[in-house]
Chain A
Amino acid sequence: QQQVKQSPQSLIVQKGGIPIINCAYENTAFDYFPWYQQFPGKGPALLIAIRPDVSEKKEGRFTISFNKSAKQFSLHIMDSQPGDSATYFCAASGGTYKYIFGTGTRLKVLA
């Protein structure tokens, strides 16, 4: 199975809240898990990525949590701001497998 299942489809939080977006995969050959942020009219931008040798990675206000045994990973946005309102895509790749993208989560952060 090469699917990457992403949830929720959409999310609304207040400014300062911590939105959490979840992704799950089945193919154990995947070894690279990036998150992309896309604003309307723009291409997806690489936000943060993790490999399975660590369980957590932080870059600024963005944190990836990775659970290898459960084959799940999630994005947390600390102290969210209205400027974080965008669509977020998780992805997975590895070995001979090309990037597989999740279905996307539309995040809105209210001022």
Chain B
Amino acid sequence: SAVISQKPSRDICQRGTSLTIQCQVDSQVTMMFWYRQQPGQSLTLIATANQGSEATYESGFVIDKFPISRPNLTFSTLTVSNMSPEDSSIYLCSVETLAGGELFFGEGSRLTVL
């Protein structure tokens, strides 16, 4: 398995501001992903964080709104830019392990935008 640390665990932000979420993994992993989970809903993939290059975004998500960095194999950040109340959600970092290809999740960052 992999131990994934995310911070902040929660935050309350004002409309129009930006927040950066950090994700640190305790071991080298092949893939890192960012998911969004709206209250009571399933998991929606935002993007795949690629090491040393631009992230690969899913339909409906764009780099200007959700810039992502992955400077090395164990660390990634997701920024939620120019936030609106519709961005209130849980943002989850996940990793796919080198060993078995299993997907593991961090505890999530619960974001509330006022």
- List residues of chain A with CB under 8 Å of any chain B CB: 32, 34, 36, 41-46, 49, 89, 91, 93, 98-99, 101-104
Complex contact A44–B102 (CB within 8 A): no
A44's partner among B41, B48, B105, B110 (CB-CB below 8 A) is B105
Interface CB pairs A-B, < 8 A, 22: A34-B103, A36-B105, A42-B107, A42-B108, A43-B6, A43-B92, A43-B105, A43-B108, A44-B43, A44-B105, A45-B105, A46-B1, A46-B103, A46-B104, A49-B102, A89-B43, A93-B103, A98-B33, A98-B48, A99-B45, A99-B103, A102-B42
Interface residues in B, total, Cβ within 8 A:
19
Residues in A whose Cβ lies below 8 Å from that of B105: 36, 43-45
Residues in B whose Cβ lies below 8 Å from that of A93: 103
Query: Tally of A-B residue pairs with Cβ under 8 A?
Result: 39
Further pairs besides A42-B108, A46-B102, A91-B103: 5, Cβ < 8 Å:
A43-B4, A44-B92, A44-B105, A101-B43, A104-B42
Complex contact B45–A98 (CB within 8 A): yes
Docked pose: A103 CA to B44 CA in angstroms: 10
Residues in B whose Cβ lies below 8 Å from that of A41: 110
Give per-residue flags for B79-114: 1 if the beta carbon is below 8 A from chain A beta carbons, else 0.
000000000000010000000011111111010000
Residues in B whose Cβ lies below 8 Å from that of A45: 105
Residues in A whose Cβ lies below 8 Å from that of B33: 98
Residues in A whose Cβ lies below 8 Å from that of B103: 34, 46, 91, 93, 99
